[in-house]
Amino acid sequence: MSEAILFRNARLFDPASGRDEAGALLAIDGKIAAIGARLEAPADARIIDCRGKCLAPGLVDMRVQLREPGAEHMENMVSASHAAAAGGVTTMVALPNTDPPIDELALVDFVARRARAIGIVNIHTYAAVTKGLGGRELTEMGLLAEAGALGFTDATRAVADPLVMRRALSYARTFDLLLVQHPEEPSLAAGGAATEGEMATRLGLPGITPVAEVMMIERDLRLVEITGARYHAAHVSTAAAIDAIRGAKARRLPVTCDTAPPYFSLNETAIGDYRTFAKLSPPLRSEADRQAVVAGLADGTIDAIASDHAPHDQESKRLPFTSAAAGIVGLETLLPLSLALYHNGHLPLLKVLRALSCAPADILRLPGGRLATGAPADLVIFDLDRPWRIEEERLRSKSKNTPFDKRPVQGGAVMTVVGGRVVFEGGG
């Protein structure tokens, strides 16, 4: 049982209901007990004066690589939990590309047991679509879902074989499960390191055509039409892919998608001078694509923003660009980089918060992501306007692979609450 906490003098934001008002929130026994303009605290309650700062549902990060089991030198559940708490993330969902991959009941249970033992933030996991992430033989998706898997994905690999994908979607439809695709046609991306175009040519890097993304998504959308399964495209990054998803939603297909901060914060010029810390999968795109991602978030085509947290050690990144690992850390920078969409006038604040909280919670059918009586007291208090600078050496993640080192940002978490317990306090 957690203590009772009364949060006073807060600016309350609930993107699920559209709430934006000054007030107070009372949490008792891990749940939100009351919300109002003026609330009385129980005699034994802890009182936290928010001093006008923003109080919102904790962030739900639907795409995180935890590296445990198998590569704990890069990250583990403890270090990722501390990083998440510092970033205002109260729930994260792990990709199954561990060693061994999460494709059996015992491994889903392992994640659940470790999460309970650590007890900092909520940790859930996906399970693999195919055994060993090999792209051929389907896992026991129904049993894995019963064991706690929130969805099914082959993580950073696309399910490339259309017959395997059709079978997976048909299986998922039978049990009403979610399939998450890494949308990149692998034969078009093989050997590539950067988006095909002027920048890749100038640097002498093998290119990946942006068409690889939309081709995979358009194929999958045809299969969704056949099967009726719930389908989610991860880290969309091109205008063509966003247009395809926009059309699918207009046809009322059960399709959702997310993007990640690099795809609306950076473009392909960030890899100049062969900066491997800006090497991603999918790679950074053109400025026109970056603007299309912003527009997709603004019109609601893109449902959610995920960190796409992919920790790598120095040895994996300090290599020639074509040999370096793809991916960056993102748990602690998710909120401030997303708030830039508001500060730059691209999105209203409630829409930014929706993409970070209730939208991913709804996609994953989790109970959090909203300020409502009876909902989990998973909360973030953040300073909307405080200027600061991202510094890689201060990140709590074990790995420090970020292209945002020294980037000035505005706003960030000052307190994170999970199940009515304060798990992070700081940040000014």
Does 378 participate in catalysis according to the annotation?
no
CA distance 72 to 342: 35
Residue with tokens 């600061």: 388
Cis peptide bond N-terminal to 15, omega within 30? no
Contact at 8 Å (CB) between 64 and 106? no
Return the CA Rg of the chain.
21
Handedness of CA 214, 208, 198, 259 (dihedral sign): positive
Choose, from 61, 308, 378, 383, the residue flagged as catalytic. Answer: 308
Q: Which phi-psi region, left, alpha or beta, contains residue 337 (left: φ > 0; alpha: ψ -120 to 50)?
A: alpha
Q: Which phi-psi region, left, alpha or beta, contains residue 148 (left: φ > 0; alpha: ψ -120 to 50)?
A: left
Positions annotated as catalytic residues are 308
